[in-house]
A and B are shown apart, each in its own frame.
Chain A
Amino acid sequence: MGQIQLNQVTKTFGNVNVIPPLDLTIHDGEFTVFVGPSGCGKSTLLRMIAGLEDLTTGSISIDGVDATDTPPAKRGLAMVFQSYALYPHMSVRKNIAFPMRMAKMPEDEQNRRIEAAAKALNLTDYLDRRPGQLSGGQRQRVAIGRAIVREPSAFLFDEPLSNLDAALRVGMRLEITEMHERLKTTMIYVTHDQVEAMTMADKIVVLRAGIIEQVGSPLELYHSPQNEFVASFIGSPKMNLIKGEEAAKHGAATIGIRPEHTGVSMTEGMWKGRVGVSEHLGSDTFIHVHDTGLADMITVRINGDVQVKHGDTIYLNPELDKLHKFGADGKRID
């Protein structure tokens, strides 16, 4: 079990209101990702769920039981920190055993769980090392191991991969997703990396300044962002947002079109522009188109084999059925 419910939760630090009243339900077994720009309150929200930060007002219930004043250790949640927060003076084995020792679990049960966790996380050869003698990825696995052995009702991750290099990050991302498939435990994962959010989540919660902008599955967010903020936040490269006359033609204050939904032609098309920087990724090329008279710059995705030169004239053909329309208040118009 691991159902978490936030009711009218708020948080103020001094007189700064970080989280305005917020409601959110996280269902049992769900992989929920909190995503948003830096400083939007993701960590604060997670720490409030963990019990490391008091609520200013509102309540939290876990599995239907009010947990607002329950101390962190009694909530049955395990947390993995960005800095790993391993205990540097203990061996890997002792680190993993620590929560079980604190719970006074029988020795042989402890050992059984340590062995199982070590095997699942490829740590068997490192059990007697100190955290200082491990690589970043191994440390991260120890931190996850320490969380797993508690058999929590939910895992909380606060940007667990942001200290790893790109290749390792992809690997660990898969491992965590894999682990979720296997354990089917509720997981709440904080990140500002939208690729992580899109690839791992069952449900993404997009936050801005403590306000939930949209909750939905990755594809819902991609296909029907409810407002301009979500539209430009989800998707890489960002959606092109066009205001003014062109938007008015479509009956909206702002229209949005994703780079991958814009065709290009060298001879004819709806919009005309001049090629700026081209970013070659091999499979795809992203070109920045200037002087369209629509926006400062429009990014489009073309096939990696197409050759365009800086300064070429280019025509763009947006797929009109993939156009997103937003009203003057930034909300989606259908």
Chain B
Amino acid sequence: MATQHSRSAARIMMAPAVVLLLGWMLVPLIMTLMFSFKRYLPLRGGDLGWTGFDNYIRFVSSSAFWPAVSTTLIIVGAVLIITIVLGVLLALLLDQPMWGQGVVRILVIAPFFVMPTVSSLVWKNMFMDPTNGLFAHLWRFFGADPVAWLSEASVPSIIMIVSWQWLPFATLILLTAVQSLDSEQLEAAEMDGAPALSKFGYLILPHLSRAITIVVLIQTIFLLSIFAEIFVTTGGAFGSRTLTYLIFQRVLESQNVGLGSAGGVYAIILANIVAIFLMRIVGKNLDA
């Protein structure tokens, strides 16, 4: 777009799309902000007028708030670590020429196509059920007492389910990155006498850093808002309540829209803090 003229023409033509997008994003955001400053109890009197920052103070001072924040961060952090470590290993494995490569790759990607609700139900009933689950049978086979996964180890269970769902995504992105590594570089390292571990550390990992950055950023955005996995498995009990889930409970279970909205605003702030952090830590990789 070289000239002044073509620039202004471009602006006019983009305007409808921009206005639509802004409306799409801004209307819900502004409504959330508005409700957060109101006392609004749909089943107990409806809109009861403005209350200032009451909702915000109540949301934070509730005993459930800080545990929810820490659960959120633990789940997001653990899933990121698991998916990236296993993702890198799987990507390296899938890059090796092997028999039935095409089928194996499709199988690895398959979990991503299963809806979160469905996969959580499958995990809950078929794997983690303390009497009939596969794990219970396995434990009993080795003579151990079956673990009641979702009540005794609720957060690790959820981490396991969510990691299983997101591993294919990480693997896929990392596999394309592994495949784009110049094979002559690896051969040069081979000639230079680098053992496999050095090749990984000096060549493959630095080459993957950009893809890892992208996986971290995209997954963080989605993981901060996981919901179905918790709703279906523990229903937020046993310390598995994340911020998203807390907001859901405030709005729907306690029927307090104002309080939930304030929570929503906190969630936006938390997401932005995490995003800024991530951008600063890993964003540098994207420039290089």
Contacts and interface: CB of A to CB of B under 8 A. Distances in A.
Contact of A52 (B185, B190, B195): B190
Given A83-B184, A85-B185, A87-B185, A98 B202 contact: yes
A52 B203 CA distance: 18
Contacts of B193: 73-74, 99, 102-103
Interface in B178-225: 182, 184-185, 187-195, 198, 202-203, 206-207
B203 A87 contact: yes
Contacts of B187: 52, 72, 79, 81, 85
Contact of B192 (A52, A73, A82): A73
A89 interface: yes
A206 interface: no
A102 B198 contact: yes
Most chain A C-beta atoms within 10 Å of own C-beta, residue among B185, B193, B203, B206: B193
A50 interface: yes
Contacts of B182: 83, 85
A44 to B, nearest CB: 13
Closest 7 CB pairs of A and B: A73-B193, A89-B206, A99-B192, A85-B184, A85-B188, A102-B193, A81-B184
Interface in A37-96: 50-52, 71-74, 77-79, 81-83, 85-90
A103 B192 CA distance: 8
A146 interface: yes
Interface residues of B, number: 17
A309 B33 CA distance: 86
B202 A79 contact: no
A79 B188 contact: yes
Contacts of B198: 102
A79 B186 CA distance: 12
Contacts of A88: 185, 206-207
Contacts of B190: 52, 71-73
Most chain B C-beta atoms within 10 Å of own C-beta, residue among A51, A74, A89, A150: A89
> Dominant SS at the B interface?
helix
Contacts of B195: 102
A35 B267 CA distance: 66
B202 A52 contact: no
28 contacts: A52-B191, A72-B190, A73-B191, A74-B193, A78-B191, A79-B187, A79-B188, A79-B191, A81-B187, A81-B188, A83-B184, A85-B184, A85-B185, A85-B187, A87-B189, A88-B185, A88-B206, A88-B207, A89-B203, A89-B207, A98-B192, A98-B194, A98-B202, A99-B193, A102-B192, A102-B193, A102-B198, A146-B192
Interface in A180-235: none
Interface in B63-110: none
Contacts of A52: 187, 190-191
A129 to B, nearest CB: 14
A150 B189 CA distance: 13
Interface in A149-184: 150
Contacts of B189: 87, 98
Contacts of B184: 81-83, 85
Contacts of A87: 185, 188-189, 202-203
Nearest to A102: B193
Nearest to A150: B192
A3 B154 CA distance: 67
Interface string A96-119: 001100110000000000000000
